[in-house]
Structure 1
Amino acid sequence: MGNIVLARIDDRLIHGQVAVVWASHVKADMIIVVDDEVAGDPTQQMLLDLAAPQDVETLYLTVDGTLEKISQISFNKRVLIIVRDVSILLKLVEEGLPIKEINIGNMHFKEGKRQITPTVWMDEKDIEAFKKLVSLGIKCEIRRVPSEKGREITEFIQEV
């Protein structure tokens, strides 16, 4: 199984911040986007590939196909996983994906969500998913870029 060096929630998926800053920071040589829509859309994949560093391999997987595919990746690969939604990571963790820490980058406004930080908006479903992840011993930290001081999600979900 690939060596997961970062699991990130970012509804923009691959973009400059992820591709240049985070991939470099964790020395990733593979970015895996877990997203059913993107996994089935070669045009979106091509556009996301344009934002990825040339020396970093990209892979686009459906949620249901992720565990099987990741188990086939060499442990020598340093893998950065990106999803749009916390519920995807919760499902993958519950199915056995070995994630110890989650980086929360961008969860933008959608109807029914309230602002937690300038870049993170959540609804009750998101909060419950984060509570479950924390109860499983997974560190969940809001941090846009590596140079920024991270803030534990528990600072925000206890008060909400």
Structure 2
Amino acid sequence: MTTPNILLTRIDNRLIHGQVGVTWVNHLGANLVVVANDKVSEDEVQQSLMDMVLPDVIQARYFSLKKTIDVIHKASPKQKIFLVVKDVQDALALKEGGVPIDHINVGNMHYEEGKKQISSTVSVDDEDIQAFKKLDKLGVNLDLRGVPNEKGQNILELI
């Protein structure tokens, strides 16, 4: 088993959109975006819409959490992977499943009933906070920022 070349993992409930598909991909030098989410892995319409945002030279894969855990270690070293998940629970499931995640960019978690807003783009509830604390205990750096040129902030300082 080889260690996959994961450049960055990002939590963004919008998954692939302009900021992810252009700004982050270019900044990282990624050539593969892996979206790990059970629902999206089965939704070809949503996949097609996300594919349209990516430059032609960037490939995308849409895997369930289980499939991501099962295949990520088979990735070629030539694949420069930008891993995108919808929420912190998906990120935690991947980390606990053995995906070598050491740094997470927390980009966007929409406000909904029962969540408190901790930044202009991130809202959390108690379940989210517990998941972030578990990730921290597992040694994951948790960096809140929307775009690469913003100053990042440790999300634990805000929750």
Opposite residue 110 of structure 2, the aligned amino acid is H
2:149 aligned residue (147, 150, 153): 147
Q: Which amino acid aligns with 1:124?
A: D
Deviations 1:116-144 (A, max 9, x none): 10100000000000011111111001010
Of residues 92, 95, 106 in structure 1, which corresponds to 2:94?
92
Q: CA deviation at 1:37?
A: 1.1
- Structure 1 spans left out of the alignment, 5+ residues: none
> What do the CA deviations read for 1:11-34 (whole angstroms, capped 9, x no partner)?
110011011110111100000001
What residue number does 1:135 align with?
137
Q: Spell out the pairing of 1:69-108 with structure 2 (5 A cutoff).
A: 69-108=71-110
Number of aligned residue pairs:
157
Contact 1:2/1:76 (8 A) holds in 2 = no
Gap regions ≥5 residues in structure 2: none
Q: Spell out, residue by residue over 1:20-51, the C-alpha distance to the aligned partner (whole angstroms, 9 max, x if none).
A: 11011110000000111111011111011001
Question: Aligned to 1:65, what secondary structure does the other structure show?
Answer: helix
Question: For 1:36, what is the secondary structure of its paired residue?
Answer: coil
Shift in Å at residue 69 of structure 1?
Answer: 2.0
Q: What is the deviation of 1:112?
A: 1.1
Task: Calculate the aligned-residue CA RMSD, in Å.
Answer: 0.9
Alignment match, 2:127: 125
- The answer to whether residue 35 in structure 2 is matched with residue 25 in structure 1 is no
- 1:156 to 2:158 alignment: yes
Q: Distance in 1 between matches of 2:127 and 2:90?
A: 12
Q: Contact 1:31–1:57 (CA<8 Å) still a contact in 2?
A: yes
- Give the CA deviation at 1:76: 1.8
For 2:115, the equivalent position in structure 1 comes to 113
Q: Which runs of 4+ in 1 moved over 3 A?
A: none
Normalising by structure 2, what TM-score?
A: 0.96
In the superposition, the TM-score normalised over structure 1's length comes to 0.95
Task: Give, in whole Å, the separation in 2 of the partners of 1:152 and 1:122.
Answer: 14
